[in-house]
Amino acid sequence: MLTIHCPNCGVTAEETEFHAHGEAHLKRFGPGSSEDDFESYLFMRKNPKGVHFERWHHRYGCGKWFHVARCTMTLEVFGSYTGQTSVPPQQIIDTIQDRRPDWVPAQDQA
């Protein structure tokens, strides 16, 4: 059972008040893109053991979307942040690196 915080309405509740909607920060490939890009946009998802970023929906609450950073192995939740961003904010990255010193953000990977 995860305890999730919604940054839109400020409620903190257990996960059944919310719904997870899969991997966050996907780059959309639409009409005109290559078949490989389109396929991976539609179907290919990360399945990490460890740090993961997800889209969440406050389904039974305010009805708004946001992002959650959490660990798929320990179920530790690092934090929630706005849905209006394509990369995790620095504060979330700092929290994760504090807890997982070896972890490197995807945008910094070679």
Partner 1 sequence: MSDPVTALKGAKGTAGFATVTEIGPVGMITLRGDFANKAVVKAAVAASGMTFPEQRRCATQGDQGMAWMSPDEVLIMCPYAEVHDRLENLQTALAKHHALAVNVSDARAVFRVRSPKVREVVAKLAPVDMDEAAFTIGMFRRTRFAQVPAAFWMPEADVIQVVCFRSVAQYMFDILNNAAKTGSEVGHF
58-87 positions binding Zn ion, by CB under 5 A: 58, 61-62
Instruction: Give which of 23, 21, 74, 77 is closest to 49, Cα–Cα.
Output: 74
d(CA 5, CA 47): 23
CB 60 within 8 A of CB 17: yes
Partner that binds at residue 63, options partner 1, Zn ion, none, CB closer than 5 to 8 Å by kind: partner 1
Partner that binds at residue 39, options partner 1, Zn ion, none, CB closer than 5 to 8 Å by kind: none
Which of 19, 22, 60, 104 is in the footprint of partner 1 by CB under 8 A?
Answer: 60
The answer to whether 4 contacts Zn ion (rule: CB under 5 A) is no
Question: Which structure tokens are listed for 22?
Answer: 């899969």
Positions that interact with Zn ion (CB under 5 A): 6, 8-9, 58, 61-62
